[in-house]
Amino acid sequence: MPQNYVLVNDQDARDMNLAPGAILDFEVNRQPYHLPVVLSTTIPRGMGGMPYGLPGLPFVDLPAWAILKTSSHG
């Protein structure tokens, strides 16, 4: 079964010192998320992506702003 994740532009991840699999804590519309990072060369810088409709991932009305909280390097 596919796992939940947050997709991050690879250059943004380098700028934030995030490695693949690191946990990124953020909020969207006051809903907290705690997801592993997957790197992408195709998602635009400054944007993030999440899978849609996977079990355990709350609904997000997109597009929406996210507030980055912390990161755990992995």
What is the maximum alpha-carbon separation in the chain?
31
pLDDT at position 71, please?
53
Percent of the chain with pLDDT over 70: 92
Q: How far, CA to CA in Å, does 17 sit from each of 24, 57, 61?
A: 11, 25, 28
Average model confidence (pLDDT) across the chain:
88
Half-sphere exposure of 70 (CA within 13 A, CB side): 3
pLDDT at position 70, please?
59
Residue matched to tokens 């596919």:
2
CA distance 71 to 16: 9
pLDDT in tens, 5-23: 999 999 999 999 999 999 9
